[in-house]
Amino acid sequence: MTSGRDAAVETDRLVRCFAGRRHDRGATRIALDGVTLRVAVSSVHGLLGPNGAGKTTLVKILSTILLPTSGTARVMGRDVVSETALVRPLVGLALGGERGLYNRLTARQNLRYWGSLYGLSRAAAVRRSEALLDAVGLADRADDRVETYSRGMKQRLHLARGLVGDPAVLFLDEPTSGLDPVGAREFRDMVRGLRRTGCTVVLATHDMAEADALCDEVTFIDHGVVLATERPDALRSRLRLPSLDEVYHHVVGDRGLAL
């Protein structure tokens, strides 16, 4: 665990509640329940947990899409609530699926548009877009509308979009969903390259093999509560389990009681 200026991401007792549906008569759902977390600069940090655990909610708060109900969160030392305008240029986000892509535009048009939103000049947006299209293997389909893309191709474009602003911290939510094995391997190589350049990557994933291969530390989260944060190899050694997948089922299944 890191602290102070060595942390790319810091949260302290972070809470996020959502209002219940009308028939629940004001009942609230707690998506994050006192999450305290630190992510080291230039590291890859995994957020691991089942659907509904709070991973995506946490990523959205850290990337300034959602406001916390209480507690604090900082990215590169900047508060996500009081310094939102300073945080946004520092982060990249890829949520996957259909969200965030303009299907009637081409991949090239999508990336140039997002480059302009990050304040890049026209020339810089063109250069950045071309480099990223090549990096994610979409250069030969760059002028095709996104609506013609397969799920895996859209996922590649999401990765490129998240990198348009050359972020200090990149948040990825299930980034290899829909990718074939070759594409997944290329993605892992890209993440390793980003870490070497100093970029911090926060990776929310269900793929334990991917987390084991990429992450310096992992955080297990369930029902909005952090159950454990540690290096994958240290968790395997302490629990005497051969794989991170088995560690995951042990920790989440027992709600962290064995830790």
Give me the DSSP letters along 199-245. Answer: -EEEEEES-HHHHHHH-SEEEEEETTEEEEEE-HHHHHHHHT-SSHH
Which CATH number is associated with domain 4-253? Answer: 3.40.50.300
Helix, strand, coil content of the chain in percent (nearest 5):
40, 25, 35
The ranges assigned to domains in the chain are 4-253
Query: What is the model's pLDDT at position 129?
Result: 97
- The mean pLDDT value of the chain amounts to 89
**Which of 123-150 are b and which e, b meaning 16 or more Cβ less than 10 Å from the residue's Cβ?**
eebeebbeebbebbebeebbeeebeebe
Query: What is the model's pLDDT at position 3?
Result: 44
State pLDDT tens for residues 79-103.
999 999 999 999 999 876 667 789 9
Query: What is the model's pLDDT at position 105?
Result: 96
Please state, for a pLDDT cut of 70, what percent of the chain lies above it: 92
Pairing of strands 217-222, 70-75: unpaired
Has residue 254 got a pLDDT over 90? no
First and final C-alpha spacing in the chain: 16
Tokens of 129: 């877009």
Has residue 67 got a pLDDT over 60? yes
